[in-house]
Structure 1
Amino acid sequence: MKRRTFVGAATALTGASFLPGFANAQSKEIRMIESGGASGESIQKGYIDPLKAKTGINVVRESPSSLGKLRALVESGQTGTTLFELGSGVVLQAKKLGLIEKLDWAAINPAPMFPEAKNEYGFGYQYFSTIMAWRKGAKEPKNFTEFFDTKAFPGKRCLPDYPHYCLPFAVQAAGVPIDKLFPLDVDLAFKKLNEIKKDVAVWWKAGAQPPQLMKDNEVQYSICWSGRVVGDPAFGLNFAGGKADLSFICVVKGSKPEDKAAANKLFYEMSLPENQAKAAEVISYTGPSPTLDALLPKDKLWQFPTSKQNKDVQYFENAEWWADNGEAVNKKWEAFKLSL
């Protein structure tokens, strides 16, 4: 990729990065690997377009992202990709593997953000939720105890084929409150899943499956990502007990100083609530500004993971616990799946 840099603009731009030997130098174009789809389009509209309009810096997007792809990039010694999107749990793995760099938060100088979004190794740019949903007309559960009660709420279920998206809800169904979920009682979770497994028609791997299965009336209840069902009149949903999580943008290990200086400009744009509101027009996920609610359509606040009414009733993903215990839990998960 052909690159050009320009000199002298950094002092005039908010959040400039001043690095020894590269003062006032930043790239005119950098590359990012993100998760794709509407999420990627929200990055373009909300953050890249404003960045380019203000500074002339362009960000070229590619997708999809995965830990394996990041590892291959770093191990190959490439310096062409600067930014990489990772889930909260994967950020910790990437850090331990030495695949990402610390962010220079002083250089970014962001607008106010929720504290969990200011990770030492990543910018938490997009909240998303995993919640309960049901086919319209089905009896409506108010919590996961009711969701797992197939006698009182009859119908087939569709659950995630991922332990970190499934086990905490099973623990809730057993009566554990959301502020006491971690450390996770894994045995209790599997006990609850064994009680309901005969009513689980599909264990999904792709996020598009639950809404389609509900529309086709193959299942009546699902645990799914909120962005797949909110705003669709075919579904009912409830954020109560849901899992709020963050997607992070990280800096690839070995990135050039002038590329990191340009990346800091993008991070600053990502911190602005007015830009986060633009991104939320594309997908019903939200950025990390505490003042974002005031800029979102009042009649659509119920759709967004970080609106106060939803954030207050969810638990936040415990990435540290999963990083420490995920391998052992995955082995138990595979054994459980063999019993189905």
Structure 2
Amino acid sequence: MKRRTFVGAAAALPAVGILSATVHAQSKEIRMVEAGGASGESIEKGYIEPLFKKTGIKVLRESPGSLGKLRALVESGQTSTTLFELGSGTILQARKLGLIEKVDWAAVNPAPMFPEAKAEYGFGYQYFSTIMAWRKGAKEPKSFAEFFDTKSFPGKRTLPDFPHYCLPFACQAAGVPIEKLFPLDVDLGFKKLNEIKKDVAVWWKAGAQPPQLLKDNEVQYAICWSGRVVGDPAFGLTFNGGKADLSFIAVVKGSSAENKAAAWKLFHEMSLPENQAKAAEVISYTGPSPNLDPLLPKDKLWQFPTSKQNKAVQYFENAQWWADNGEAVNKKWEAFKLSL
């Protein structure tokens, strides 16, 4: 009886009172942990500033982040940090560990998005590519088969010290087409890397290394992140056979309903192609709108990972395959590195 009385009383509340509660169930300030650098500045210009102008909601940025930092936030029971940037692989780990919340896509009400960016547990906000590049004046390879052909394309290389970046390119060099890369033939990839390892001068760990090595003429060819080399006349490059990947923004587990309501509004702004165009002015990575190309400078379309001409010739990272097989591959990678 008491419960029925309570429900009845709630139902009898004036409608204006209910609407008022809805209006106030949204924070005016939330915190985000993102990768930093130009990427963070692109979030500020492209998404945070338009959100503030429309709603008055402030988003405070911090950087850098890591899966360990996210885990510590959740395990401490904090509620101040609402949003966290994660890679396509780490978001799967974060979901498995119960560190992030589902996205309420109905509340986000996004503009059209590429399907892989509209994930159950994250908003795929920024595409980036890993591609081949070369020092200007070097003989120009058109495929990874040519990139790995050190006789026809002589010169030193720099490759990433990460198996998930190297092995699929090595498999391409061995003749595997990009649409059949996964499940990955790991042994074939290592076989091809063994053929080229004597010509690899540096196995890089930081994205700033490849362009500097090319400029210093310590290497003539590189596998690197596209944003580090596009638009610089010192380099030649191609997206052909490159790897397209996504960075995600996820909601931290335990975030309040008010903070999540604000986050959904930010996600909506991130889905708008006009805002993605603003972000692309800061860094040559692109958002998930299929309608973005007409808003980008026509003379710069060749620089962006998701432009029609580039998306068509790349493969998309298979994060689930790496989540299932990464540990075993990493052990083989360490053994390979010992053979250098």
Normalised TM-score (structure 1): 0.94
Maintained 8 Å contact 1:47/1:270: yes
Q: Which residue of 2 aligns with 1:177?
A: 177
Matches within 5 A, 1:162-241: 162-241=162-241
How far apart are the structure 1 equivalents of 2:322 and 2:24? Answer: 41
Q: Which residue of 2 aligns with 1:318?
A: 318
What code does the residue aligned with 1:134 have?
A: W
How far apart are the structure 1 equivalents of 2:265 and 2:173? Answer: 44
Q: Which residue of 2 aligns with 1:105?
A: 105
How far apart are the structure 1 equivalents of 2:276 and 2:28? Answer: 23
Matches within 5 A, 1:295-310: 295-310=295-310
- CA offsets 1:178-220 (integer angstroms, 9 cap, x no match): 0000000000000000000000000000000000000000000
- The SS at the match of 1:26 is coil
Aligned-residue CA RMSD (Å): 1.4
Q: Which residue of 2 aligns with 1:50?
A: 50
Matches within 5 A, 1:143-162: 143-162=143-162
How far apart are the structure 2 equivalents of 1:237 and 1:198? Answer: 23
Residue 24 (structure 1) shift: 4.6
Larger helix fraction of residues: 2
- The SS at the match of 1:164 is helix
- Which ranges in structure 1 are unaligned for 5 or more consecutive residues? 1-7, 13-20
Q: Which residue of 1 aligns with 2:116?
A: 116
Maintained 8 Å contact 1:46/1:276: yes
How far apart are the structure 2 equivalents of 1:69 and 1:127? Answer: 23
How far apart are the structure 2 equivalents of 1:47 and 1:222? Answer: 33
- Which ranges in structure 2 are unaligned for 5 or more consecutive residues? 1-15
> Does residue 67 of structure 1 match 2:67?
yes
Maintained 8 Å contact 1:22/1:258: no
- CA offsets 1:157-191 (integer angstroms, 9 cap, x no match): 00000111111000000000000000000000000
How far apart are the structure 1 equivalents of 2:294 and 2:68? Answer: 39
How far apart are the structure 2 equivalents of 1:167 and 1:293? Answer: 31
Residue 32 (structure 1) shift: 0.2
How far apart are the structure 1 equivalents of 2:117 and 2:96? Answer: 19
Residue 313 (structure 1) shift: 0.1
- The SS at the match of 1:283 is coil
What code does the residue aligned with 1:289 have?
A: S
Maintained 8 Å contact 1:124/1:249: yes
How far apart are the structure 2 equivalents of 1:106 and 1:176? Answer: 40
What code does the residue aligned with 1:231 have?
A: G
Residue 23 (structure 1) shift: 6.7
> Does residue 87 of structure 1 match 2:87?
yes
- CA offsets 1:48-100 (integer angstroms, 9 cap, x no match): 00000000000000001111111111111111100000000111011001111
Give the % identical residues: 86
Maintained 8 Å contact 1:57/1:262: yes
Maintained 8 Å contact 1:85/1:247: yes
- The SS at the match of 2:194 is helix
Maintained 8 Å contact 1:22/1:257: no
Q: Which residue of 2 aligns with 1:15?
A: none
Q: Which residue of 2 aligns with 1:274?
A: 274
Maintained 8 Å contact 1:111/1:272: yes
Maintained 8 Å contact 1:108/1:268: yes
Residue 22 (structure 1) shift: 6.3
Q: 1:11 to 1:323 in 2, by over 3 A?
A: farther
> Does residue 331 of structure 1 match 2:331?
yes
- CA offsets 1:82-136 (integer angstroms, 9 cap, x no match): 0000000111011001111100000000000000000000000000000000000
How far apart are the structure 1 equivalents of 2:73 and 2:218? Answer: 41
Q: 1:86 to 1:240 in 2, by over 3 A?
A: same
- Report runs of 4+ in structure 1 exceeding 4 Å deviation: 21-24
Say how many residue pairs are matched. Answer: 324
Greater Rg over alpha carbons, structure:
2
